[in-house]
Amino acid sequence: MANQVGKNYKNSAAKVDTSKLYDKLTAAQLVKEAAFAKFDETVEVHMRTSLDPRKADQLLRGTVLLPHGTGKRVRILVFAEGEDARAAQDAGADFVGSDDIAKKIEEGWTEFDVAIATPPMMRVVGRLGRVLGPRGLMPSPKAGTVVNGPDLGRIIEETRLGRVEFRLDKTANIHVGIGKVSFSAEQIVENLDALLDAVRANRPAGAKGSLVKRLTITSTMGPGIKIEGAN
Structure confidence by residue, pLDDT tens digits, 107-147? 999 999 999 999 999 999 999 999 999 888 999 998 889 99
For range 162-166, the mean pLDDT:
91
pLDDT surpasses 60 at 229: yes
pLDDT band for position 94 (50/70/90)? very high
- What pLDDT is recorded for position 1? 44
The string of pLDDT tens digits covering residues 13-28 is 888 998 999 999 999 9
The domain tally of the chain equals 2
**Residues 126 and 83 reside in one and the same domain:** yes
Confirm whether 82 is domain-assigned.
yes
Question: DSSP states of 196-227 as a string?
Answer: HHHHHHT--TT--S-SEEEEEEEESSS--EEB
**H helices within 14-110, ranges in order?**
24-34, 82-90, 99-106
pLDDT of residue 171: 96
Q: Is residue 143 part of a domain?
A: yes
Same domain, 110 and 220: no
Q: What is the pLDDT of residue 231?
A: 61
What's the CA gap between 91 and 155, in Å, rounded?
Answer: 9
221 lies in some domain: yes
pLDDT of residue 128: 95
Answer with the residue of higher pLDDT: 8 or 19: 19
CATH code, domain carrying 133: 3.40.50.790
Instruction: For residue 4, name the pLDDT band (cuts at 50, 70, 90).
Output: low
Count CA within 13 A, CB hemisphere, residue 101. Answer: 23
pLDDT tens digits, one per residue of 49-63 = 999 999 999 999 999
Average pLDDT score, the chain: 93
Question: So what's the pLDDT on residue 6?
Answer: 81
Same domain, 176 and 105: no
Statement to judge: residues 57 and 117 lie in one domain: no
Q: For position 3, what pLDDT does the model report? A: 54
The verdict on 184 and 208 lying in the same domain is yes
Rounded to two decimals, what is the model's pTM?
0.84
In the prediction, which pLDDT does 136 show? 86
- The whole domain housing 109 covers 76-161
Residue 3 lies in a domain: no
